[in-house]
Structure 1
Amino acid sequence: MAKGSGSNGGGNARPTMADIANELGLAKITVSRALSNPSSVKESTRRLVRETAERMGYRLNVSARNLRQQRTRTIAVVIEMTPSHERLMSEPYPLLLLGGIMQELTAAGQNMVLTTIDLFTAAPPSADGVILLGQGVHDDAAAVIEATGLPYVVWGAEHGPPGRIVVGSDNREGGRLAADHLLGRGCRRLLFLGDAEHGEAEDRLRGFEARVAASDAAIVGNIPCAFTLPAGREAVGPLLDARGLDFDGIFAASDAIAMGAIEALQARGHRVPGEVSVVGFDDSPGAALFSPSLTSIRQDWAVGGELLAQKVLAKVAGQPVESRAMPVVLVKRES
């Protein structure tokens, strides 16, 4: 139950986390986590805190908040993913995006500071604008960046408010292309592997579903999993052990997932593509080197990075900017 009236007792002073906590009768640490590490609190609390923060006019205490008068010539690039031994910063995503961003910012005489969403919220760097790589589950990461009030653009899917500028691939078309390929190979019992709580994976699934629904095939499984090779292996292995091979085609939301799925199939003596055809998403450098080489939906990360940098600099300069969905293509290989 709310304790206060929303006033922080400071006249026109901007509200603090303590004011929000007092307003809602919550611990300050709970409010802090809801605003800076949203996955650590339940959805109802997260929504209540954010709605109250917006109503009270709260903004994260970003050191760059006064830079309307003085530019830093620095752009913060914030990575939503949490680096781990299974998902490294050195992988093609986000490395290829970062290469495109750095190239464009350098050409424009701009600095780049690289950080993660958790570090950004804990100690925001001084910057004129923000590029966010990845929106997070239920768009949480994008909401955190938006709360800073800084100009920002996002790599991902157009799932947020109308004014949000997003650069990404045409994920729905990618899903349709994957379905067309699998159907063309005669596959009729299909699996989707990926976490559709992420906007990009959700769009890939929706495009896939739409094309399959118009055919005589069926999606017999939709298995949520992280964007890693072990996650793909762990999604398919237990399924095979429990049900046997009752599917003949897989569309994975990333190449890493697809590779893990193939490993699980091969470990149990199943042939790819003899018994199961597999399509990944990304066309990462490893796709051509994998055995069998992986059929994949190609997205151009380097160009995407350049576009992100161009658009955030335009926003910082007060110029009109539009979102951009880049075309994708199917790269056919052995799988």
Structure 2
Amino acid sequence: MANGTGPLGGGNARPTMADIARELGVAKITVSRALSDSPTVKESTRRLIRDTAERMGYRLNISARNLRQQRTRTIAVVIEMAPSHDRLMSEPYPLSLLGGIMQELTAAGQNMVLTTIELFAQHPPSADGVILLGQGVHDDAAAAIEATGLPYVVWGAAHGPPGRVVVGSDNRAGGRLAADYLRARRRRALLFLGETQHGEVEDRLQGFADALKGSDAAVIDRIACAFTAAAGREAVDRLLAEGTAFDGVFAASDAIAMGAIEALQARGLSVPGDVSVVGFDDSPGAAIVSPKLTTIRQDWAVGGELLAKKVLDLVAGKGADSRAMGVELVARES
């Protein structure tokens, strides 16, 4: 400690979760989970983090304001994904969800503040409730939001605590539709592309695998990759270079599927002649790529409206339940 001013060395500076994490040499998400009393953190670690937070004078202003029952007429929308060259914030996800959220909040006379999970954890905005788009790997992002004590809803899969309100697509049903489509085209050696540490992707794979049980088709490999065309392209190119043979691909997103098609065509393989490919999302690009992409459609706009309605119900002290929206297979050329 410097000059008796505490770990921050700034006298009146308000400590953050990041400051506590640096003080103890742990991850910021561990601090968030410990402060929300998550069982995923050992009790001894939780106790140490809570004691350190109290010693450093850590206080989360939004929680105090919530306890005073003041209203800002503002909902914070937090995006879990990190913007990158390969995955832009301007893509259909999250913009389509945001459109539905904004429409519903505006109709209800509510403001919306948009931020990322990293910025929210460091500098939480003044808000009455939170909509989280994306749970994060192993539910990390949702745990960070839960630590605030604010009413919140999540776009994703219902893998968290029983009381958490989640809006998302029926991802297992989507996986089953993809399996049925590929089996109907006599595809037997199947590849799954996607990062199953995300709850939605885990459910897509589970539904896919369940639908294949008892058939002569099987998942021969499962490749973890990001939600980008580059990741799909690299995964498939690597398998082809190794001599792995497959005749069907189910990708956890359209972007991954498009990358897979690029890799197949670059190796002289025909889609769907040699390999059939199914994506997930029905993003605008799915209908214009060559060949046009067969995909599982989820309705982001309606999902956004549902997220807004449910968080406003929670802020008003009403009950809200989770909702898994139906999906449909859009058969095109791939």
TM-score (norm 2): 0.87
For residues 60 and 232 of structure 1, do their structure 2 counterparts lie closer, same or farther at Cα, with a shift above 3 Å needed? farther
| Equivalent residue letter for 1:201 | V
Deviates more, 1:160-169 or 1:66-75: 66-75
Deviation at 1:19, TM superposition (A): 11
Relative to structure 1, the CA distance from residue 85 to residue 49 in structure 2 (aligned partners, 3 Å threshold; closer, same or farther) is: farther
How many angstroms does 1:65 deviate by?
3.2
The Cα RMSD (Å) is: 2.7
| Partner in structure 1 of residue 329 of structure 2 | 330
Residue number in structure 2 paired with 1:249: 248
2:9 paired residue number: none
Segments ≥4 residues shifted beyond 2 Å: 15-21, 26-38, 44-60, 62-65
| Distance of aligned partners of 1:136 and 1:271 in 2 relative to their CA distance in 1, 3 Å threshold | same
- Structure 1 residue matching 2:62: 3-state secondary structure: coil
Q: Which runs of 5+ in 2 are unaligned?
A: 1-14
Correspondences of 1:105-144 after superposition (within 5 Å): 105-144=105-144
Alignment partners' CA distance in 2, 1:276 and 1:89: 31
1:76-100 Cα distance to aligned partner (Å, 9 max, x none) = 0000000111100100000000000
Structure 1 residues 1-335: aligned runs within 5 Å:
27-28=23-24, 30=26, 32=28, 34-35=30-31, 51-52=46-47, 61-63=60-62, 65-67=64-66, 68-244=68-244, 246-335=245-334
How many residue pairs get aligned? The number is 311
- 1 CA distance for matches of 2:321 and 2:33? 29
Residues 228 and 257, structure 1, Cα contact 8 Å, conserved in 2: yes
Structure 1 unaligned blocks of 5 or more: 1-14, 39-43
The residue type paired with residue 308 of structure 1 is L
1:29 to 1:124, Cα distance in 2 relative to 1, 3 A: farther
Deviation at 1:137, TM superposition (A): 0.4
For the structure 1 residues 47 and 105, does the alpha-carbon distance in structure 2 shift closer, same or farther, using more than 3 Å as the test?
farther
CA contact (8 A) 2:129 2:151 kept: yes
Indicate if the aligned counterparts of 1:299 and 1:328 stay in contact, CA closer than 8 A: yes
What is the alpha-carbon distance in structure 2 between the residues aligned to residue 18 and residue 182 of structure 1? 47
Q: Deviations over 1:167-192 (max 9, x none)?
A: 00000000000000000000000000
Q: 1:156–1:32: structure 2 CA closer, same or farther, 3 Å change rule? A: closer
1:110 is matched by which residue type in structure 2? Answer: Q
Amino acid at match of 2:333: E
Change over 3 Å in CA distance of 1:227–1:60 after alignment to 2: farther
Instruction: Decide whether aligned partners of structure 1 residues 255 and 90 sit closer, same or farther in structure 2, where only a CA change above 3 A counts.
Output: same
CA positional deviation for 1:54: 8.9
Counterpart of 2:85, as a letter, is: H
Query: Residue type of the partner of 2:331?
Result: K
- Pair 1:49–1:238, CA change in 2 (3 A): farther
CA contact (8 A) 1:73 1:110 kept: yes
